[in-house]
Amino acid sequence: MTIIDIASIVSIMIMIFVAILILIIYLTKCNALVANFDMSQIPKAHVQTAWNLWLVGALSVLVAGIITILLRVVSSSILTFVPVVIGVVVMTMCFIKINKYRKH
């Protein structure tokens, strides 16, 4: 094994860890957020929209992590980390949109 192979394996392991860590943090934040919903004050359509945004945000991080891992195996370019950046941006936008449905 060369140093490049070892570096690729280590970077793949780091990306798996980061994707799982981001998802865990995001899910715990969303669970706390959902606990603050005042269902009597929020229209049912808004609650459904918030759940849909939550799913899109969580899945974007998972898919971005998987795509990055697959691209990292195929290529050693630094551009393989672009899907993770896009996934985190999508997750952040979803979380910001969910925040407007929170009870203050």
- Using alpha carbons, list the distances in angstroms from residue 74 to 48, 77, 78: 39, 9, 12
- Using alpha carbons, list the distances in angstroms from residue 65 to 22, 45, 46, 73: 10, 30, 29, 13
Tell me how many domains the chain contains: 1
Is 104 contained in some domain?
no
Q: What is the pLDDT of residues 78-102, one digit of tens each?
A: 677 777 778 778 877 877 777 776 6
- Pick from 24, 11, 23: which is nearest to 68 by CA? 11
Q: What is the pLDDT of residues 15-42, one digit of tens each?
A: 667 667 766 766 666 665 555 655 566 6
Split at pLDDT 50, 70, 90, the class of 48 is confident
Is 25 contained in some domain?
yes
Give the three-state DSSP class for 2.
coil
Is 34 contained in some domain?
yes
Provide the residue range defining the domain that includes 28.
Answer: 3-99
Identity of the residue numbered 59: L
